[in-house]
Every structure is written in structure tokens, then in C-alpha cells.
Amino acid sequence: MKKTVEKEATKLCVGLPRGLLYYRYRVLWKTFFSALGVQVVVSPQTNKEIVERGAKAAIDEACLSTKIYLGHVQALMGKCDYILVPRIDNFGMQREMCTKFQALYDLVCNTFRGSSQKFISYNVDEHKKQTEERAFYALGAELGFSRKQTAEAYKKARKTAAEDWKRRLKEQEQLFKKEGLKIMVAAHSYVLDDAYIGRPVLDLLGQMGVTALRADLTDTKEALKQSLKVSPTLKWELNREIVGGIQICRDRIDGIVLLSAFPCGPDSMVNDIVMRRFSGIPILNLMLDNQSGTAGLETRLESFVDILNFKRGAL
């Protein structure tokens, strides 16, 4: 009987919306499900249609990244057995996640309550001693796998994700050795890695001959520690990592671009902190919304780069 259950489980297909925490956990999730023999399907790259569909499904007050996420969920509906929508509340004291991550599963289930699509989640809440590892054990059990199978899959996934992160850190470190302007882009991974809203900014900087560095791509533990030097009371995990990443590299960069998805509450507060605490570094604050194109961004980025080049005596 046990073998039959496990055999049927291998036919499962789980959908991963290409938005929000996908960019942070994609290697972990894909490796975990692959190790269990579960098929994974990922929504396509963000495009205008996905943004528009997500905007229609969301309330007006939702941030652009949440609207995009809902568009990706909709793109997966009917194409998989389950769509993974994790609920991540916190990683301990002063390590809270934005409320959209705390309520994401409920938000998605309520938004698409009229559909027949099934959703699956895992819950991380270390205030209640619900660690990521325990959360994955529960996820595996819900999908019909034994604790041993799940433990082995999680161990492999965590190791693979750690190795991938180290590789990316090394690649960024090599960029610091390049000549010319170095601008640190401070944004969440779900903004920077999004093909429709964030990646065009990195591409534009590259076309201008600028070395674009990422504040979110840093040693996480060190970044959390360094963020306390900027603000000892900052509590949002992802923002702390970004602020800490800037602090670590502040003496190795020529300027900072703050890139946010409108109207992100945590970013609106944290960006103000960054502009005050890093006042000695030139900063450009850019806000992205689903109504703006790249033309305005290009003009502002070109002006910013010209100012930095002038400051370096390159103009």
C-alpha cells in the first residue's frame, strides 16, 4: 500500500508563480520537489498581460509586486494539481516579513475562491517555533510523502540552494574588480529579477557602461548584523538585508539607485532612512508602477550616471 501511495505521488504537478518569493527560493523549491519526484511548472516571464490580469484581480491599494504575483497565479491555474503559495511570517525576533507574505496564502485563496484550482502552502513562524525545516516536513506530509523522504529532499534542497547562493556571491564580488562607475541597486529580488519591471533597469545601466551591483545579493547574516548600524529598530527581514548590503559595500560604490514597486509601505520608510543615513553617497530614488514605461526611467538614469561621471572627472 505504501509503495502505491508513493508511486501515485510522483505524478503530482506543483505550480510556482514567478513572483515575490520565487526569486528568493526558486532553487530550494525546485530541488525539493524534484527530489521527491514531483513535476514542477513555472509561470512565464512577466509581461503586460500578466500585469494587467493581476491588477484586475487585486485591490487598488495592493503593491505592484502583489498584483504581478496574482497575475502569475492566474497564469498557472488549471495547469497543475497545486499552486505553491507559502506563508512566511517571521524568522524570529526583529525578523518580520512584510504583511503581504504573512497573509499571501489567504489572499490568493480568497481572490480565486470561485475556481477549482487547489493551493498548497507551508508556514514559517519562528515565534511559534515553526521553523522552515518543520514547515517543509508538513508540506511533504500533505503531499503524501514519508518523513524520511521529505527530510532527504529538504536536506538536498537546502544544500543546493546554499551552494547556488555562494556562487552568486562570488560572481558579484568579481564585479567589484571592474573599472568604471559602480552603482548599487537597492531593491527586492522580486523587483530586480522581474523581466518586466526590474531587469530593464539593470540592462539600461549596463548599456551605459555602468557596473550594476545588487544590495540584496550579500552575506545574509553579515547584512542583518550591519543593518543594525543603520537602524537598530528596523524589523523587516528583506529590508534589513538590503540596508545591510549597502552598509557593507558603501565604500566600494559610486552611487545608489533605490528601486521600489509602488506603493510598498516598508520601502517608503526604509528608503527615507537610507537617504538620511547614506547622505554622503549620491542616491536616485525610482518608483515603479504598472502605468509607467522605461522611457522616463532611462532619462533619469542617464542624468544620474552623468552626474556621477562628472563627480569622478570623467566628463
Distance CA 232, CA 229 (A): 6
Q: Are residues 140 and 274 in the same domain?
A: no
- Domain C-terminal end among 163, 191, 208: 163
pLDDT of the residue at 291:
66
- Domain C-terminal end among 163, 196, 212: 163
Please list the residues that pair with 120 across neighbouring strands: 84
Packing angle between helix 265-277 and helix 220-230, nearest 10 degrees? 70
Q: Are residues 13 and 157 in the same domain?
A: yes
Q: Are residues 47 and 143 in the same domain?
A: yes
Q: Are residues 13 and 138 in the same domain?
A: yes
178 with 275: CB under 8 angstroms?
no
pLDDT of the residue at 297:
87
Q: Are residues 131 and 180 in the same domain?
A: no
Please list the residues that pair with 211 across neighbouring strands: 182
Q: Are residues 77 and 122 in the same domain?
A: yes
Q: Are residues 100 and 211 in the same domain?
A: no
Q: Are residues 232 and 294 in the same domain?
A: yes
Q: Are residues 62 and 208 in the same domain?
A: no
- Domain C-terminal end among 136, 163, 190: 163
Q: Are residues 271 and 187 in the same domain?
A: yes
pLDDT of the residue at 1:
42
Nearest to 98 by CA among 263, 278, 292: 263
pLDDT of the residue at 11:
79
pLDDT of the residue at 58:
95
pLDDT of the residue at 9:
43
Q: Which residue segment(s) compose the domain that 190 sits in?
A: 176-312
Q: Are residues 10 and 129 in the same domain?
A: yes
**pLDDT tens-digit profile, the chain (315 residues):** 444 344 444 479 999 999 999 999 999 999 999 999 999 999 999 999 999 999 999 999 999 999 999 999 999 999 999 999 999 999 998 899 999 999 999 999 999 999 999 999 999 999 999 999 999 999 999 999 999 999 999 999 999 999 999 999 999 999 999 999 999 999 999 999 999 999 999 999 999 999 999 999 999 999 999 999 999 999 899 999 999 999 999 999 999 999 999 999 899 999 999 999 999 999 999 999 876 556 678 899 999 999 999 988 765
Q: Are residues 47 and 120 in the same domain?
A: yes
pLDDT of the residue at 296:
77
Read off the DSSP letter of residue 83.
E
Distance CA 13, CA 204 (A): 37
User: Does some domain include residue 46?
Assistant: yes
User: Does some domain include residue 169?
Assistant: no
pLDDT of the residue at 294:
64
pTM above 0.85, yes or no: yes
Q: Is 56 exposed, middle or buried (0-12, 13-18, 19+ CB in 10 A)?
A: exposed
pLDDT of the residue at 295:
62
